[in-house]
Amino acid sequence: MTDRGQFTEITIEEGKATGSMPEGTIGRACLIAEHASVLGINLVDAATDIQDLFGDCELATELSDAQANAGTSYYCIVATFASGYITGDTIKSILQGILDMQYEPEFFVLQKPCDLALAQKYEEALQYFQDNKRWFSGVAQYRRARAFDLEGVVAADGSGHTILPIVGHGFLNPDQVVISGSGNYDGTINVLPTSTADALHIDVAFTAETFPAGALLEEKPETYATRFGSDFATLSADKLMLVAPVTQLGHLGAVFGYGCKQSIEQSIGRRDEGGIKSVEVDPAYSVAVLRTLVSHGAVILKRPVEKPNMIVVNDDTTMWTAGSVRNWSRRRILCKGARSIFYYGNDLVNSNKYPKTKAGAMAAGEEIATGLKEMRDGFPAQISGYELAPTWGTDGKLLVDWVVYDLNRLKIIGNQITLEEAQSA
């Protein structure tokens, strides 16, 4: 397939204005997560004591890193559910329930690591809401690289190879693992196809050993990158940005927190604001490995060669396979443009202000485009231009075909929006 992302080299929440579309949701995230005891909705901002609210857990780490990178603009709706509740079967109803409670984010963030099935259902849920005139972007994350503490594990003889009893190890042939801290098995080792779910067969001659304290078995970085690509090769998700956290906690939080702060027309890969705060990157992940992840569509953190003391987001690629929405910033622009068309057009159609003629449709289009004009002419500008072509359909419906152009004058094609009488904005 065509590379989804490019490995980059050198290259606020918005205020409200009288008579303009309400913009209080811009930069507002809704994080969906599982928690052992804290269930329900909590609102988190720049002053929230996150550890006090959620305790010492992975969720608290992600929220704290988001808080550090969003600064004073941080506002996050946190919806927590019981362990195991978030699945592909429940994700749409979870989003619907949050919206039914009148919480209105700009974008959703899913903390639970996604496999292909969950990512597909997440994208389908965002498409469902778009089909029903609710436009959101999505952020999710892949699993972290697999790692196992080998202390106390007893190596077994596999008749020509070695068997390690590790429950739920998740490795497949031709994966590679790296063992360190052992007496006999240190190094990079191939996983054999005879492995079972709870017994890892490795291609190395057996030597009796009970692994000591400090012995580790880790997924080789190249294997992690390859598995990301194979796991999501068939995913088509232009509403969704998928973070590969590699080995560390906090990468998802840092990315979406930075997105809370960044104006929608700007890539979160910008490097003129000091970079990402409060997280680290694993030096074992070479530029070549990171390039592989990026080519598969992963959003990653890295230290750029030209600024090795800074950590940045490589790019804000979506998991696209076709179309014009190949970056999260473009998706955010498209969502805001669509919301503005619906905001100005819905009341207009219900008012019967313009005749159901070609001239009436063109006149209506001028008014419907008010929000797009604000995006183009405001400061800072969020788009460089737009095209809007409304036509009257049956039963008083106004069909709006439209495109916007980002600041690089690249076309972003919006889906046709149908405005009809007796809807609520």
Average confidence score pLDDT of the chain: 91
Please give the Cα distance from 225 to 243 (Å, whole number). Answer: 12
pLDDT over 50 (residue 252): yes
* Range name among 92-101, 221-230, 303-312, 367-376 with the lowest pLDDT average: 303-312
pLDDT-derived band of residue 1, with 50, 70 and 90 as boundaries?
low
pTM listed for this prediction: 0.92
- In CATH terms, 147-223 corresponds, of 3.40.50.300, 3.30.43.10, 2.40.30.20, 2.30.42.10, to 2.40.30.20
Protein fold of 29-142+232-322: Rossmann fold (3.40.50)
- Please state whether beta strands 200-202 and 162-164 pair in parallel, antiparallel, or not at all (unpaired): antiparallel
pLDDT over 80 (residue 12): no
**Strands of 385-392's sheet, edge to edge?**
385-392, 398-405, 411-419
What confidence score (pLDDT) does residue 21 get?
A: 46
Asked if 270 and 380 touch (Cβ cutoff 8 Å), the reply is: no
Torsion of CA 418, 19, 136, 241, to 10 degrees: 130
What confidence score (pLDDT) does residue 422 get?
A: 57
The pLDDT tens digits of the residues spanning 86-114 come to 999 999 999 999 999 999 899 999 999 99
What confidence score (pLDDT) does residue 41 get?
A: 96
What confidence score (pLDDT) does residue 24 get?
A: 55
Express the helix, strand and coil content of the chain in percent, nearest 5 each: 30, 20, 50
* Range name among 87-91, 120-124, 331-335, 391-395 with the lowest pLDDT average: 391-395
What confidence score (pLDDT) does residue 8 get?
A: 59
How confident is the model over 296-317, as a mean pLDDT? 92
At residue 368, φ and ψ (nearest 5 deg) are -60, -30
pLDDT over 80 (residue 423): no
Asked if 74 and 45 touch (Cβ cutoff 8 Å), the reply is: yes
How confident is the model over 339-349, as a mean pLDDT? 90
Letter for the amino acid at 201?
H
* Range name among 11-15, 108-112, 352-356 with the lowest pLDDT average: 11-15
- SS3 for 287? helix
Any idea where the domains of the chain sit in the sequence?
Answer: 29-142+232-322, 147-223, 329-419
What confidence score (pLDDT) does residue 272 get?
A: 67
* Range name among 9-13, 75-79, 394-398 with the lowest pLDDT average: 9-13
The pLDDT tens digits of the residues spanning 235-250 come to 999 999 999 999 999 9
DSSP one-letter string for 95-154: HHHHHHTT---SEEEE-SPP-HHHHHHHHHHHHHHHHTT---EEEEEPPPPPEEE-TT-B
Note the Cα 198 to chain centre separation in Å: 31
pLDDT over 70 (residue 11): no
- Please state whether beta strands 398-405 and 385-392 pair in parallel, antiparallel, or not at all (unpaired): antiparallel
pLDDT over 80 (residue 15): no
The pLDDT tens digits of the residues spanning 23-40 come to 557 889 999 999 999 999
**Percent of all residues in the chain with a pLDDT value above 90, rounded to a whole number:** 83
